[in-house]
Amino acid sequence: MILRDLKKTRIAGLYYQEDKDKGKIWIVRINLRGIVDTHRVVGYSNDIYKTNMMMANKKRLELIEEYKAGSHSALINNITVKSYFENYMASRQATMSKSRQMYNKRFFEMHIPKKIQSKKLNALTPDDLQKVVDMLLESNGFKPSYVKYVKEIFSPMYKKAIREGLASSNPAQYVVLPKYDNKRYFKIPIEAVQKLYREILLLPDIQHQIFFLFLFFGRRKGEVLKMKWEHINLDTKEYEIPYYNNKNKKNQQFFLPEPLYELLVQIPDKVDFVLKGVTVAQMSEPKRIWKDLKRKANLEEYKMRFHDFRHMVGYMLINNGESIETVARTLGHADTRTAHIYANMDKEIAKRGVDKLFNLAYQKTKN
């Protein structure tokens, strides 16, 4: 949990976050040198106790005394897998995307048996989780790429519990998953890419043109839909994907390709979201338009999804002589080994990739 993302109260060590369903989520920080340094959710303003600030602080003081007295073993024995999962997810609100939070909660409720949810946190064994994995694979017929979320949910959750002294080992560490190839092999000929580009420019709605061109030049669907005018500088022809809207959790800057710039300057209302909905502030993903666009561009045989725009970018650039580094920067991937070398070159490298992509799509057959 990142403290700067929490709202302070007038009581030291007591914070809260707003939630549309739970109201105020009361979170305490307990830092006792040599004993514990942890954050705990102690209640919600909409829970059965209608927990308020004074009640949350009382719980904070009780926890401090328990830790000081070395008697938090009783606390450990009362924590169930389900209650700690809820605590863990609440603590990740500032550092986990909303879509991933929803996915984790849905997976936990749908696929983790109630018997395991009600187990004491410190009593869960690797065998318990292995049985869940085997059941999902064998009885339910799910693919390993889906079942892997058992480990991806429980492993970081138990790492946190171990740091807090609430668990002695990580049962997810010993869960075995079958090997599988999670790569998406996507190939598309240059003629199909050029056809797609032309059809995007023929879309009657300028907002749809902007959406699909951003995807065409390597942006993720969520990054585009959440983009605001404050992230775009038309004077310098640059735009930013802020850290809270991208997977790398770092601010990323890119140059605006000329076709996008020409469309963006035509938008009269340059306030709030770049792409606006009909009845809401933010445009939703245009699934029907995408279906029609694929039909017009003859893309049905490639089974192309929104995210496959990024696979298309990588495939086109690599197969036309660009380096892995250029592809990585164009797509906004992090490269920890060389990030310090290219720290001041990110936008230039990405621009080279976008320019190459634009030229490939726009080039005309001479014969």
* The pLDDT value given to residue 70: 61
Domain boundary among 154, 182, 210: 182
Across 322-335, average pLDDT: 79
Confidence of residue 64 (pLDDT cuts 50, 70, 90): confident
Whether residues 170 and 194 share a domain: the answer is no
Whether residues 177 and 202 share a domain: the answer is no
Q: Rounding to the nearest 10 degrees, give the CA dihedral for residues 203, 205, 210, 211.
A: -90
Whether residues 160 and 210 share a domain: the answer is no
Whether residues 27 and 46 share a domain: the answer is yes
More reliable by pLDDT, 116 or 310? 116
Whether residues 209 and 307 share a domain: the answer is yes
Whether residues 53 and 17 share a domain: the answer is yes
Q: What is the pLDDT of residues 44-61, one digit of tens each?
A: 998 888 999 999 999 989
Instruction: Report which residue type is found at 70.
Output: G
Confidence of residue 182 (pLDDT cuts 50, 70, 90): low
Across 223-249, average pLDDT: 92
Whether residues 281 and 196 share a domain: the answer is yes
* The pLDDT value given to residue 191: 92
Residue 82 lies in a domain: no
Q: Is the pLDDT of residue 337 over 80?
A: no
By DSSP bridging, strand 14-19 and strand 23-32 are antiparallel
Confidence of residue 37 (pLDDT cuts 50, 70, 90): low
CATH number at residue 340: 1.10.443
- Residue appearing with tokens 């040599």: 34
Residue 78 lies in a domain: no
Whether residues 201 and 349 share a domain: the answer is yes
Whether residues 292 and 173 share a domain: the answer is no
Please state, for a pLDDT cut of 70, what percent of the chain lies above it. 86
Residue 86 lies in a domain: no
- Side-chain-side CA neighbours of residue 338 (13 Å): 11
More reliable by pLDDT, 233 or 334? 233
Residue 88 lies in a domain: no
Whether residues 269 and 197 share a domain: the answer is yes
The boundaries of the domain holding residue 228 are 190-362
Confidence of residue 1 (pLDDT cuts 50, 70, 90): very low
Whether residues 177 and 201 share a domain: the answer is no
Of residues 27, 17, 25, the one with CA closest to residue 45: 25
Please state, for a pLDDT cut of 90, what percent of the chain lies above it. 46
Residue 229 lies in a domain: yes
Whether residues 21 and 102 share a domain: the answer is no
Residue 59 lies in a domain: yes
Q: What's the chain look like in SS3?
A: CCHHHCEECCCCCEEEEEECCCEEEEEEEEEECCCEEEEEEEEECCCCCCCCHHHHHHHHHHHHHHHHCCCCHHHHHHCEHHHHHHHHHHHCCCCCCHHHHHHHHHHHHHHCCHHHHCCEHHHCCHHHHHHHHHHHHHHCCCCHHHHCHHHHHHHHHHHHHHHCCCCCCCHHHHCCCCCCCCCCCCCCCHHHHHHHHHHHHCCCCHHHHHHHHHHHCCCCHHHHHCCEHHHEECCCCEEEECHHHCCCCCCEEEECCHHHHHHHCCCCCCCCECCCCCCCCCCCCCHHHHHHHHHHCCCHHHCCCCCHHHHHHHHHHHCCCCCHHHHHHHHCCCCCCCCCCCCCCHHHHHHHHHHHHHHHHHCCCCC
Q: Which whole-number Å values give the CA distances from 300 to 192, 201, 295, 297, 313, in the listed order?
A: 11, 19, 6, 8, 18
Instruction: Count how many domains the chain has.
Output: 3
Give yes or no for a contact between 313 and 327, defined as CB atoms under 8 angstroms apart: yes
Across 109-124, average pLDDT: 94
* The pLDDT value given to residue 367: 42
